[in-house]
A and B are shown apart, each in its own frame.
Chain A
């Protein structure tokens, strides 16, 4: 079980502050990439009319997901408690296979690498990777 060190938490908070005003852009790009690179993820969005990059549902949902990540940053000291409702949503309503959290996390890291080439250093990368893994675990908490 990874514990986020104090340094990890600070690194994530400082970096995420830079991302905060681009949530829709970042979210939309990450989601678009996920749908393109891992086509099996499209199965969760059969109810959308348009799955193409930059489409209205992709933009809207990308923003929603990133705001969720922001919520996790805010409760980084107790992810399980802070993400309880979201975990229940994913467990009982959405029933997203948790393997997909890793997939989306990877796509998010690729987007951050593109948009923040100077800030996304290896140290920031490792803290963010740990954080996203912890976030994914907290989201899977209520599954079984």
Chain B
């Protein structure tokens, strides 16, 4: 039974572990397909926090909708509910208690979706599309942080229509991540801003970009004491930078690595360089996953500085990825990311979300703990 209206409800089903025929490369890794995927490119994915029993996946898409699935332990996915915006959805996040989902859209608004009542109400307004939304849970306050293409960073108490705070940025926000008490925003023109969130949000530092190309995605990582200590930044030209905020030895501790490129050893043909679309850190192991425009995902160990695994190539770019709260599941979406413009867009092409068992493959090279 499909709750999602027009889509083919029964579809390819979450139980098709045996997957597709050999000629079809839409799922070469034979991962679990989520039922009733969105009708257009998936822009963001988020799993529920540990406070909620079970696993619920939220996905926002360019079809203006946000969908919620329950992921059961046997791998089956059950579509649960859906909400709409009046423009493409660019980012989603959960509240810390798992009762609300926040969605940010090109229609310049952000909404709070109460899952229990299945009601959504607008909680934020910008002058431009909101590219990123995060929930901040501080000891003395809780709020929503929205970063937009209108060059502002705003903080919202969901009960009030006016922002608690509005900070001006030098350029449009392209991606952001929050792990209390640190927030990182990567902007246009290779800008990099770090904010500290204790007491109230304030700008902490502006960092010279370790990358030479446009910033595309960012993810904060934590140290062994579970405190945020740095971030991974991905660019539009196949490179990720690992950057620590206060390293003992910056020249040695910070580094960049190439990824999502083709023809690695073959120097006769030019190397194709693809955009890094998303980065996610494993909540337990601290290793990271990157997904790219080339239709592959890769797992990396940043401490051992090695690659753990690279997938087979999917027939479409991979646009988003995320881990569930205990790190057993990695979800990634396969859809056109617009990296080559509108000419390569095929509205008929199906979009997919895959679930993969991430417990084993992301174990770090040398177990330190």
- Are these two chains actual partners, yes or no? no
Query: Interface residues, chain B, CB within 8 Å of chain A?
Result: none
Query: Interface residues, chain A, CB within 8 Å of chain B?
Result: none
